[in-house]
Structure 1
Amino acid sequence: MRRRFLLSGAALLALPAIAQPGAPRVETVAGGLAHPWGLAFLPDGTALVTERPGRLRRVTPDGEVSDPVRGVPRVFAEEQGGLLDVVLAPDFAESRRVYLSFAEPGEGNTASTAVARGRLNQDGTALEDTEVIFRQQPKLEGGMHFGSRLAFAPDGNLFVTTGERFRFDPAQDVSDHLGTVLRIAADGSVPQDNPFVGRQGARPEIWSYGHRNIQAAAIRPEDGALWIAEMGPRGGDELNRPEAGRNHGWPLVSWGQHYDGRDIPDPPTRPDLAGSIHQWTPVISPSGMVFYQGSAFPDWQGDILIGGLSARGIVRVELDGQRVRGEHRIDLGRRIRDVAVAPDGVIHALTDAEDGALLRLRPAD
């Protein structure tokens, strides 16, 4: 049985007064989604959407929302925890594998970020043979800073972004997974060229460390490199390009301040640490990102589209190599949790709300 949330005529949202010429028109594809978090498109244009309370749904291009897909692992759905990202395996057409990141409950009231995979059956109603292939260590109490985005690199390995569980200093400790970018094989094993393989006391899954809370990540198509946008404290959201084995500095340095007003040294004071490509103060609260490739918005080719929770819209970043050349805001008037591009090149976004929605952005003309 399916629920239908398509609004008559696909409701158009008012464009902001500061909109640039040619700003996209915005349609609501489907509503009634409970804090939707992750978005991935099947080859036929149907969207897989995660809901943070622990449900995975299919949303058709005309707005039909399925019953929950069976076979999703049990989640720790408190505060920022729950069912998080979703991506398709690079060989989805043959394997039908779907990967999920989520807050996994442990003993007592503990939890940590985990990754599971399963095979989507032919009618899309269930994940079969679901298995957890990675568990962040250690599991801790509290519901803050789980990350987590998933991104497949061209070599078939999977990047997993995490948070430091609001514990600060463990992000500097490579003996745990807190505040790290991880790199695992598609089956959860450790690639032997990871930077900490063979180092005593270090977690071999770690790619980079010293991160705070990464809820946006994407692979740049032109070179296959991972880019992330991570949340700072009071100020200092960062756009970064994580490199193997590098320390990105949290909480030793930051462009922001602690929530209690205490200062944090700025990154230039520590040239030994990896620097950021760009920073936002005030924050945009980045969540979800994609490098645009498609015919719908030809002038945006290669730009980064970043969902903004605090920004209440999409931040479009123009690049010149490794440098930010320009920035534009698409004001949607809602907290944006994820951004993705459909097979037809049209941009879609998820709104973060108890009654959340899947939006579609088309060219104005």
Structure 2
Amino acid sequence: MRRVVGFAAVVVLAGCSAESAGTAPPTTSPEGLKVEVVASGLTHPWDVGFLPDGRMLVPQRPGRIALVGKDGRVGEVAADLGDVAARGEGGLMSLVVHPDFATSRRFTTCFNTAEDVRLVTWVLDGDRATRVRDPLLAGLPSNPSGRHSGCRMALDNDGNLLIGTGDTARANVPQDRGSLGGKVLRVDLDTGEGVPGNPFGDRIYTYGHRNVQGVAVREDGVVFTAEHGPDVDDEVNALKPGGNYGWDPSRGGTVGGYDEDVPMTDLERFPDAVPAAWSSGDPTEAICDAAFLRGEQWGDLAGVLAVTALKGTKLLLFTVTQEGGVHSVAVPPELDGTHGRLRGAELGPDGALYVTTSNGRGDELLRITRA
């Protein structure tokens, strides 16, 4: 049973603070949001995948996939996930339902193993999933502690699979185009191979990233990412094929260890690096997943980029420009510290925004609409 916890009436969206605004000014909106708890009792749910019959697949970091019914009841997919290595930030992460699921019954997951981060494609039969492409893609670097071993997937407008990866806290990885870490990859959803037209002729779409947590595709095809900074400067980036996003904790290979005192986008070392569309400055929010709001039901929020925040325990709403910049930022009070750490963000087939919490115990799947 869904439980309404927001306001059903029209309320005012509070403008965000200067700290939350980062490099863009705060803004206000004349109407509020309604937040419903669709399901609870989850553990670090990372993502949401929507099935044609109205059910949802929700991967949980410890290595379980919840099957959430239209009535909010939570079951579990029977699947062999024994090789998931859930350590620190790593474990079972992103999930994508294939566009042809109605006939193929396929979905793809991304998770840490003891050796790497890999993608596996499954077929769902009732509440049981069987591996049919194992792996779809392997060899993404992983840190034994799980640090910066993330994996966020999304489909572009051509049905290709975009994969945002972390640098595994290894200094040389972000700038090394021989590594799949610290990158955004673009691959064929059926084969895992690079897509023709990729800028370097392989799987890499962009490089020089620290720890990509969110990938969202605008209606015109422009890809935006949300990325964790070190102590400062979380970033929202608009991707340019082949772009270098300027993270280099090795300082060109001149220092040992993992030097996080370098700029998040080092325009001095890399003058051609792509500047961030938005940066949090200090403090960081630990921004996470991202999704564009679409449909008439969103009113003046249609086209806004919604980004979850873990440390910031809020939802940030970015008004983005046609050129890929950020015009302004707002924080709705209904999701400002009200549900703890927010991780996954996906627009559902009903036009609502679905968000997952990541507090570790009793986590929730939320449904967000205009009030």
TM-score category by the smaller chain? Answer: 0.7 to 0.9
TM-score by length of 2: 0.84
Deviation of the 1:218 alpha carbon: 1.2
> Superposed, which structure 2 residues align to 1:142-291 within 5 Å?
142-186=145-189, 187-197=191-201, 204-221=202-219, 223-251=220-248, 262=261, 264=263, 267-269=266-268, 270-281=270-281, 282-291=283-292
Percent of paired sites with the same residue = 32
Equivalent residue for 2:74, pick from 65, 68, 75: 65
CA distance in structure 2 between the partners assigned to 1:17 and 1:52 by the alignment: 32
Give the 3 Å change call, closer, same or farther, for CA 174–283 of structure 1 in structure 2: same
Unpaired runs of at least 5, structure 1: 1-5, 107-111, 198-203
Deviates more, 1:38-47 or 1:285-294: 38-47
**What is aligned with 1:24?**
33
**What is aligned with 1:34?**
43
1:116 matched to 2:120: yes
Cα deviations by residue, 1:221-249 (Å, 9 ceiling, x for unpaired): 1x222211111101111111222222111
CA distance in structure 1 between the partners assigned to 2:216 and 2:172 by the alignment: 26
CA distance in structure 2 between the partners assigned to 1:232 and 1:139 by the alignment: 19
CA distance in structure 2 between the partners assigned to 1:285 and 1:338 by the alignment: 13
3-state DSSP of counterpart to 2:111: strand
Cα deviations by residue, 1:62-81 (Å, 9 ceiling, x for unpaired): 21001233244621100011
Cα pair 1:239 1:277 within 8 Å, conserved: yes
Counterpart AA for 1:362? T
3-state DSSP of counterpart to 2:134: strand
**What is aligned with 1:342?**
348
CA distance in structure 1 between the partners assigned to 2:298 and 2:152 by the alignment: 25
Deviation of the 1:298 alpha carbon: 2.2
Counterpart AA for 1:216? G
Please tell me the root mean square deviation across aligned C-alpha atoms, in Å: 2.6
3-state DSSP of counterpart to 2:103: helix
Cα pair 1:119 1:130 within 8 Å, conserved: no
Deviation of the 1:93 alpha carbon: 2.3
**What is aligned with 1:3?**
none
3-state DSSP of counterpart to 2:147: coil
Counterpart AA for 2:332? I
Equivalent residue for 2:90, pick from 78, 81, 84: 81
Give the 3 Å change call, closer, same or farther, for CA 346–138 of structure 1 in structure 2: closer
1:100 matched to 2:93: no
Deviation of the 1:154 alpha carbon: 2.3
Deviation of the 1:183 alpha carbon: 1.4
Deviation of the 1:142 alpha carbon: 2.5
**What is aligned with 1:109?**
none
Counterpart AA for 2:159? G
Higher relative contact order (CA 8 A, sep 6+): 2
Deviates more, 1:266-275 or 1:166-175: 266-275
Cα pair 2:234 2:284 within 8 Å, conserved: yes
Counterpart AA for 1:115? L
Cα pair 2:164 2:212 within 8 Å, conserved: yes
**What is aligned with 2:25?**
none
Equivalent residue for 1:55, pick from 50, 61, 64: 64
Cα deviations by residue, 1:175-217 (Å, 9 ceiling, x for unpaired): 21121111111121222432222xxxxxx22111110000100
Unpaired runs of at least 5, structure 2: 16-28, 252-256
Give the 3 Å change call, closer, same or farther, for CA 102–263 of structure 1 in structure 2: closer
CA distance in structure 2 between the partners assigned to 1:346 and 1:309 by the alignment: 21
Give the 3 Å change call, closer, same or farther, for CA 214–44 of structure 1 in structure 2: same
Equivalent residue for 1:43, pick from 52, 59, 63: 52
1:305 matched to 2:302: no
Give the 3 Å change call, closer, same or farther, for CA 34–118 of structure 1 in structure 2: same
CA distance in structure 2 between the partners assigned to 1:75 and 1:346 by the alignment: 31
1:361 matched to 2:368: yes
Give the 3 Å change call, closer, same or farther, for CA 279–27 of structure 1 in structure 2: same
**What is aligned with 2:19?**
none
TM-score by length of 1: 0.85
Counterpart AA for 1:274? V
3-state DSSP of counterpart to 1:296: helix
